[in-house]
Amino acid sequence: MLSNNIEKLQELSRNAYFTLDDVAQNFGLQPGSARVFCSRYDKKGLLVRLKNNLYTTAWRWENLTRNDFFIIANILQVPSYISLMTALAHYDVTTQAQQDYQESICHKRTIVYNVRQAVFSYVKIQRPYYNGFVKTDGIFIATKEKAFLDAAYLYSFGKYRFDADSLDFKKLDFNKLKSMLKNYPQKTKDTVKRLCGI
């Protein structure tokens, strides 16, 4: 029975995550029974609970790629996009981002999800500044200029800290940055000017 269940879970774990509905459908269970099943297998260490109704298998978790973590980050808080030092590290603008630490921007609420050794951090930003991201390989991620601008904006209001000396500003397009900066508060404009001289 256990080996049969493991086989079915392996089918589900082709993706980075799956839902309770996926389990119910795959195992022919009612939603309540699927919840009990997932809870039991989570306690056995065979499943990893990402948040309510969202799981992955323990063996899939151990082999997640950086992109898989980004996909999970996108789904843990909807809508959101990868940004700040996480995105800047993705674009090789900095080498300072922590492993197993995903930073995202959202417009619902600031929150942190801790899943085993991984941290998924979300910082709320005002709606007028919730933009400047693209969808690449199924992942919503800020452009490198917007990732820096998100960091500078939050930093200028004391809501974020980062090591500006770790950034390779030559990798940013200053024309794009100037264009995007027009709509930001003066405090943010002053911060960007001080940090990268534009």
Statement: residue 3 has pLDDT above 70 = no
The size of the chain, in residues, is 198
Residues 6+ apart with CB under 8 A from 3: none
* pLDDT at residue number 1: 53
Residue 75 has pLDDT above 90, yes or no: yes
Locate the DSSP E strands across the chain: 18-19, 47-51, 54-57, 80-82, 101-106, 111-115, 118-124, 133-136, 139-142
* Domain 2-61 bears CATH identifier 1.10.10.10: yes
Using alpha carbons, select from 51, 147, 34 the residue that is nearest to residue 93: 147
pLDDT tens profile 85-115: 999 999 999 988 778 999 999 999 999 999 9
Amino acid occupying residue 142: A
Exposure pattern of 85-100 as b/e (b: 16+ CB <10 Å)? bbbbbbbebbeebeee
pLDDT in tens, 130-178: 999 999 999 999 999 999 999 999 999 999 999 999 999 999 999 999 9
Q: What is the DSSP code (8-state) at residue 171?
A: G
Q: Where are the domains of the chain?
A: 2-61, 66-196
| Three-class SS state of 196 | helix
Cα(97)–Cα(109) distance, integer angstroms: 22
Q: Give pTM, 2 decimals.
A: 0.93
